[in-house]
């Protein structure tokens, strides 16, 4: 019997400090046993438990894309015991990864559809995974127009800034990068909160257009009415949730919203599905 609680051993291969407050770091991992990388086959939107012996585990969205081989990547905010310890670890250190977990964004449903991807703050990790996946030459023609609205408090708080600039220069993806405010005279993108920018830039909703939203609760709260006004039906609004987790496989009992477990039945739900569950997230 495969033990679903046993992490794959991994080595930290690279650490990138992403944001000016140094609270967000990206960790690139390689598997100690190459066959484990095959077992860890994942889809954009899934997450995994990062496991540090002696500290515990944290559920983190996978920031690398299944089209990127040879490593897996996670961007971690420094919050509690495990993430603080992780932020103090070094390249070469050994730890564990358990997963992949959860359902992913519904890539089969989204085939042939236009997408507007709306992200805020550091909740951009699985959206990065999704964008890399979508822009892969193997996949790009399977999907329609792609709009990305991504905002952070300041330019220095945006994740993956080099990649954002690369995507900005492409003609097969429409980037709408925004910050809440900045006094940087060289800032050449947008200024304004994500909901406001979404109102201006999101394509109108129709049967062939889906919105994927991932961000802090306040952003989601004010973005949803914008999408409602732009005629997005609730089964075309796709959201990724977070809840406290331990097992990650639907057994330990804490992350449920009604009968659904965020870890196993989610973390991705349509707004139509969420409307039918208690709002315990």
Partner 1 sequence: MEIIKIKKDHLATGLDALKKSYQLFGPVKKDSCHEFKRLEQDEQPDLNFTNTRLSPKALIYPQSETMFTYSLDENAEDAHILKEAVKTDVPKAVIGIRPCDADAFLLVKRNFDAPDYKDPYWLNAYAKTTLVGLACENPHKTCFCTTSGSGPFSEQGLDILLVDIGDDYLAKVLTDKGAALAKAAGWDTPADSDSATEDIECLKAAAEESISSSVDTDHLKELDTTALHQAPFWEDAAFACINCGTCTYLCPTCWCFDIQDETCGAKGTRMRNWDSCMFPLFTMHGTGHNPRGTKKQRVRQRFMHKLKYYVDKYENGTLCTGCGRCIRACPVNIDIRKICNQMNHYNPDTVEEPAS
Site string for partner 1, 132-171 (x = CB under 8 A): ----------------------------------------
Question: Which of 209, 256, 268, 269 is close enough to bind partner 1 by CB under 8 A?
Answer: 256
Q: For the CA atoms of the chain, what is the radius of gyration?
A: 18
Q: Which residue has the tokens 């509690």?
A: 80
Alpha-carbon gap, residue 167 to 140, rounded angstroms: 13
Q: Per rule CB under 8 A, is residue 235 in the interface with partner 1?
A: no
CB of residue 188 to partner 1, shortest distance in Å = 32
Question: Which of 6, 16, 91, 231 is close enough to bind partner 1 by CB under 8 A?
Answer: 6
Beta strands in the chain (DSSP E): 8-17, 24-31, 47-52, 56-61, 72-77, 94-101, 114-120, 146-152, 174-179, 190-191, 209-214, 237-240, 256-257, 260-261, 268-270
Q: Per rule CB under 8 A, is residue 259 in the interface with partner 1?
A: yes
Q: Per rule CB under 8 A, is residue 36 in the interface with partner 1?
A: no
Q: Closer CB to partner 1, residue 117 or residue 257?
A: 257
Interacting span for partner 1 (CB under 8 A) from 51-59, 112-120, 134-142, 232-240? 51-59
Residues that bind partner 1 (rule: CB under 8 A) add up to a total of 47
Nearest Cα residue to 38 out of 73, 75, 76, 66: 66
The number of beta carbons lying within 10 Å of the beta carbon of residue 117 is 25
Q: Per rule CB under 8 A, is residue 253 in the interface with partner 1?
A: yes
Q: Per rule CB under 8 A, is residue 247 in the interface with partner 1?
A: yes
């Amino acid at each position: 019997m495969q033990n679903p609680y046993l992490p794959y051993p991994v080595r930290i291969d690279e650490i990138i400090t992403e944001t000016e407050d140094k609270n967000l770091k990206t960790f690139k991992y390689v598997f100690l046993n190459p066959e484990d990388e095959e077992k860890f086959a994942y889809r954009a939107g899934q997450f995994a438990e990062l496991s540090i012996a002696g500290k515990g585990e944290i559920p983190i969205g996978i920031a690398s894309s299944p089209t990127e081989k040879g490593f897996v990547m996670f961007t971690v905010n420094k919050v509690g015991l495990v993430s603080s310890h992780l932020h103090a670890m070094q390249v070469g250190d050994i730890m564990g990864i358990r997963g992949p977990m959860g359902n992913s964004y519904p890539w089969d449903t989204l085939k042939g559809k236009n997408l507007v991807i709306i992200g805020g703050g550091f909740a951009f990790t699985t959206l990065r995974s999704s964008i890399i996946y979508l822009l892969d030459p193997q996949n790009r023609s399977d999907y329609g127009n792609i709009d990305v609205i991504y905002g952070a408090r300041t330019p220095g708080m945006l994740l993956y800034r080099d990649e954002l600039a690369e995507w900005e220069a492409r003609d097969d993806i429409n980037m709408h990068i925004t910050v809440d405010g900045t006094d940087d005279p060289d800032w050449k993108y947008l200024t304004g909160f994500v909901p406001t920018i979404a109102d201006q830039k999101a394509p109108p909703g129709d049967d062939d257009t889906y919105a994927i939203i991932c961000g802090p609760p306040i952003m989601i709260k004010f973005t949803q009415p914008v999408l409602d006004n732009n005629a997005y039906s609730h089964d075309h609004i796709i959201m990724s949730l977070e809840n406290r987790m331990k097992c990650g496989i639907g057994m330990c009992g804490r992350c449920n919203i009604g009968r659904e477990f965020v870890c196993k039945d989610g973390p991705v739900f349509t707004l139509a599905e969420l409307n039918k569950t208690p709002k315990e997230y």
